[in-house]
Amino acid sequence: MNRRRLVVGISGSSAPQYGIGLLEALAKLGTVETHLVVSAGARRTIELEARRDPDEICALADVVHDARDLAAAVSSGSFLTLGMAVVPCSMKTLAAVAHGHTDDLLSRAADVTLKERRRLVLVTRETPLSLIHLRNMTAVTEAGAVVLPPVPGFYARPRTIDDLIAHTVGKVLDQFGVEHHLFHRWAGVPEEST
């Protein structure tokens, strides 16, 4: 049986832990074939912030595509996927997607996702936001993307940083209809609290 495919992009923004968490969750689930594109900046932030070897992270994916290879399978709309998640999504990558500036595979794959009317989820990572950032978020949203900043949901009562990451990863998986048990969903106020 063929598994559904999902393109995962990790850009050079701070917080590569979100992209790593997504890859780990998908590898554990085993229900989706992952196609990974890691920017040069992301390789560096993985080393600096996650203190992990980028090649170790790449090993979590089923297929890894060189970010400079514009002839990779994920650069074509004829390569069928569920869509793409860019986790985290830097403001540089957001701007490239918003303006169709596809000079690397990460931005090209995102552009293809939009043109094929597939789900594109951008986990934007920046604060505070400038008017330029907000306008770029509006542009990608109008083009069909989902902007999903990593905003924690405290209703799930997180106890660790990993719990906070899992919440965002779960919200990303929800966008693609991928079942998971990464966080407790809100089910209303518990009886004993009323």
Mark the binding-site residues, compressed into ranges.
12-14, 39, 90-93, 125, 155, 171
Unique residue bearing structure tokens 């085993």: 30
Residue numbers in the known binding site for FMN are 12-14, 39, 90-93, 125
Q: How far apart are CA 166 and CA 152, in angstroms?
A: 10
Residue numbers in the known binding site for dimethylallyl phosphate are 155, 171
Q: How far apart are CA 184 and CA 93, in angstroms?
A: 31
Q: In whole angstroms, how far apart are CA 34 and each of 3, 37, 117, 181?
A: 9, 10, 19, 19
CB 26 within 8 A of CB 102: no
Burial of 129 (0-12, 13-18, 19+ CB in 10 A): middle
CB 35 within 8 A of CB 9: no
DSSP-derived pairing of the beta strands 83-89 and 4-10: parallel
Give the residue from 54, 6, 56, 28 showing the smallest Cα distance to 172: 6
